[in-house]
A and B are shown apart, each in its own frame.
Chain A
Amino acid sequence: MKRLALLGLVAAVFALAACGGDDGDGDGAAGGDVRGDTVALIEERGALKCGVTDTLPGFGFREPDGSFSGFDIEFCKAIAAAVLGDDAEVEFVAASSSARFELLSAGEVDLLSRVTTITAERDASRAVDFAQTTFYDGQGFVVHADSDIYDAADMGGATICVAAGTTTEQNLDDFFNEQGLSYTPLSGEGSEPQDQFVARRCDVFTSDKSGLAARIASLPNSDDYRFLPLTISKEPLAPGVRDYDSDWKDVVSWVVWGLINAEELGVTSANVDAWAADPPNTAVARLLGVPFEGGETADLGFAVDPQFIQRALRAVGNYGEIYARTVEPLGITRAGTLNALYTEGGILYAPPYR
């Protein structure tokens, strides 16, 4: 009898654990590949499940209190605010790079926002669709602050530290062949290139920009180094959604484009309330989903209500604000890079919101 009671207690605890999980899982019973209406799924669950990285400085990591933080995280919050009206209703799921696409197709996450490069292979053969790119990464260069290298042309004859056996190394070779310049590669494993660069055995250190910035930021005197305004490979990082759900992909893409348009139009988290009450022009009114001078609110037919971009802006601010909060502190300046607005020399060119 006593044993039975013990067994019962143990069983009850595990049942409790299982139920507790179902609160968070929502579609736990659905299993298998999930297809269909993700927006409705999120609304029903009351939370957005966002697959993120938790180990990349500036892009996705965890704060001392356990909360998530970074560039990719801000887009999760923006989209949660857009769909649910509350940027706190995000369930962050730390998705390893090896399991990320499976997590998406199995319905464990609704959205991948974790520095995923768009490639043809992924788009074609994985169950993932890519929404609008949020960050154009690429291979960059860093030099010592007192160096007289300022541009690609100055690198002729330079010694360049690079990680051995990577695409970075091949890109470097292609780039210099194209430019008709000579250089001396100094390749090494792991942190060797960085150490050799710090010891001034080479003039230039090259790697992907986001990782490069993190490595330089980790050095004790990070002010002694300077990034070149040069990017030689294409690494467009974009949010991923499940295949066959255009409504959801539209929402995600247009939150990204909306935040870029907002920057172009000068809408910020500081003035969004004032401008929503009294929009200065029709473009801002359309973007915020409010009527202009007694007119009607335009409903463009998204799966969410017309004010979704307004809510995203209120939660995280426009693209420039997100960038300044998360990526800028790593030392990756924005001006003159691909991630500047097209009006400022970059390639951020959002289609008109109308």
Chain B
Amino acid sequence: MAELPQPAEARPPGRVVLPPHRERARRPFADRARDWARHNLFPSRGGTLLTLISFALLVLLLCGVIWYVFFGADWSVVSSNRWLLFAGSFPRDEEWRLWVGVAVVFFMIGVAYGLWSRFNRRDLLFVAIASAFLIFLMAHGGAAAWSSIWFLVALALMFGGYVVAVRIPRDNSRLRVRANRIGIALIALALPIVLLILMVGGGAVSTDFDGFVLNVILAPVGIVGGLVVAIPLAIGRASSLRIISWTCTAYIELVRGAPLLGWLFVALFILDDVIGGSLVVRTMVVLAVFTGAYMAEYIRGGLQALHHGQDEAARAVGLSRRQTLQLIIMPQALRVSIPPLVGQAISIWKDTSLVSVILPMRELKGNADSAIAQTEFIADRIEAYVFVAVIFWIVAFTMSRISQRVERAQGVGER
């Protein structure tokens, strides 16, 4: 930040002089804009050149994208294959179950946001753009007015959940504590509740999970299950009992050492004899086992980042070993590990697309492969894959935003 010229004679007599940054803010907007541009865009001859080149490239890229999206691409491969891409072989008569599931998830997101985050204009913008994109997609090609209505109902529930949750005062009142607990329980139970909605009373069977539905069922199991596996593993690896630490280390190194594709083969051909059950459940087990090994290492990193004084102080005030771990060590270690844990969560979200490669199950990307095998859409492979990428991105970006909120609420990086 270079100092701006502040000629003394320009200052009117008797005027209160403010600190420099406020003083700068007093100057006319045009002046400030000019100075900002001079400092940031045209600082020198080389800088000017770079700015011009970057600007030209940016314009070119933007024009290219806009031209592609609105004129170059033929999105009919996506609009006519909405059902295939999102639900595939899910029973058509049970479509309402999917929408109720969506509504429940949206409501939970709204409640969580209201409870633990503050209103942010950028989040609203993201929700607005993503919703507009999805409604556009559902309205495109007609015959899906109901989908749009369902989606709007789900959005309304999300805002409703937010509005109610945000009114709960942020203090240590009993109401607040109870609300926090309900919020956490809701998130932990989100997947079981959604599965119940989808399956109970003559709904879908596990082989019906297909397309995007399969991705959103597998990924949370991988993430939550992974965390459940990882915490004892991380503690065990740091244990002073050799047998426990060796076992945990062996597990982590064995699982991390082989690619996920290999473990999916295990789910297909070996777990069948070991635990049986349907392929979806076996895949869930493999995803949780696989993610758990990575997450255990991140949590161990969090444990090691803590000063040993924390442990000693807790023991000194008379907390038991278990209480120390539960109340002092784990909360801090988990908080430190949030960024890599979320990275792993996003990674496993994208890795759900691997199931189509090996297993006789098809998720979003696998169904896109199939959509472009339809005779009339053979030429539209780029459109189909761009769409799949956008959908993966929307979910991954949402996860990333949520994690940033949680980090801020937990004060990660502040100490």
B 271-291 to A, binary, CB cutoff 8 A, 1 in contact else 0:
011001111110000000000
Check B206–A17 contact: CB distance below 8 A.
yes
Rounded to whole Å, the gap between the CB of A39 and the closest CB of chain B is 22
Interface-side segment among B14-22, B147-155, B187-195 = B187-195
The reply to whether the CB of B83 lies closer than 8 angstroms to some CB of chain A is yes
**What residues make up the interface of B, taking CB atoms closer than 8 Å to A?**
80-84, 87-90, 92, 185, 188-189, 192, 195-196, 199-200, 204-207, 210-211, 265, 268-269, 272-273, 276-281, 356-362, 366-367, 369-375, 378-379
CA distance A60 to B360 in the complex (A): 14
Q: Known pairs A20-B205, A23-B205, A214-B378; list 6 more (Cβ under 8 Å).
A: A6-B188, A18-B206, A20-B204, A62-B370, A108-B360, A218-B378
Interface-side segment among A25-33, A144-152, A244-252 = A25-33
Q: A-B pairs with CB below 8 Å: how many?
A: 150
Known: A13-B192, A16-B195, A57-B373. A66 touches B278 (CB 8 A): no
> Which residue in A21, A23, A55, A106 is a CB contact (below 8 Å) of B370?
A55
Q: Which B residue sits closest to A91, measured CB to CB? A: B207
The reply to whether the CB of A345 lies closer than 8 angstroms to some CB of chain B is no
The reply to whether the CB of A336 lies closer than 8 angstroms to some CB of chain B is no
Q: Which of A95, A99, A217 has the most CB of B within 10 A?
A: A99
Check B366–A17 contact: CB distance below 8 A.
no
Which residues of the partner chain A approach B188 to less than 8 Å between Cβ atoms? 6
Known: A62-B367, A65-B83, A96-B357. A20 touches B278 (CB 8 A): yes
Check A10–B192 contact: CB distance below 8 A.
yes
CA distance A21 to B372 in the complex (A): 29
CA distance A109 to B279 in the complex (A): 13
Known: A13-B192, A20-B205, A22-B277. A62 touches B371 (CB 8 A): yes
The reply to whether the CB of A329 lies closer than 8 angstroms to some CB of chain B is yes
> Which residue in B82, B207, B268, B378 is a CB contact (below 8 Å) of A21?
B207
Rounded to whole Å, the gap between the CB of A9 and the closest CB of chain B is 6
CA distance A189 to B308 in the complex (A): 59
Rounded to whole Å, the gap between the CB of B264 and the closest CB of chain A is 10
Rounded to whole Å, the gap between the CB of A348 and the closest CB of chain B is 24
> Which residue in A22, A51, A57 is a CB contact (below 8 Å) of B374?
A57
CA distance A337 to B395 in the complex (A): 49
The reply to whether the CB of A36 lies closer than 8 angstroms to some CB of chain B is no
The reply to whether the CB of A80 lies closer than 8 angstroms to some CB of chain B is no
Q: Which A residue sits closest to B224, measured CB to CB? A: A10
Taking chain A's interface residues, is the majority helix, strand, or loop, or is none over half, making it mixed?
mixed
CA distance A24 to B211 in the complex (A): 18
CA distance A154 to B357 in the complex (A): 43
Check A13–B195 contact: CB distance below 8 A.
yes
CA distance A109 to B277 in the complex (A): 16
Which residues of the partner chain B approach A95 to less than 8 Å between Cβ atoms? 360
Q: Which B residue sits closest to A107, measured CB to CB? A: B272
The reply to whether the CB of A94 lies closer than 8 angstroms to some CB of chain B is yes
Which residues of the partner chain B approach A330 to less than 8 Å between Cβ atoms? 375
A 89-107 to B, binary, CB cutoff 8 A, 1 in contact else 0:
0010111101100110010
Check A20–B378 contact: CB distance below 8 A.
no
Which residues of the partner chain A approach B279 to less than 8 Å between Cβ atoms? 21, 25
Known: A9-B189, A13-B192, A21-B206. A62 touches B88 (CB 8 A): yes
The reply to whether the CB of A319 lies closer than 8 angstroms to some CB of chain B is no
The reply to whether the CB of A181 lies closer than 8 angstroms to some CB of chain B is no
CA distance A24 to B375 in the complex (A): 30
Please report which residues of chain A, range 2-52, place their CB below 8 angstroms from some CB of chain B when the two chains form the complex. Answer: 6, 9-10, 13-14, 16-18, 20-25, 28-29, 31-32, 51
Check A103–B374 contact: CB distance below 8 A.
no
Check A55–B373 contact: CB distance below 8 A.
yes
Check A93–B360 contact: CB distance below 8 A.
yes
Q: Which of B196, B277, B359 has the most CB of A within 10 A?
A: B277
Q: Which A residue sits closest to B200, measured CB to CB? A: A16
Q: Which A residue sits closest to B282, measured CB to CB? A: A21
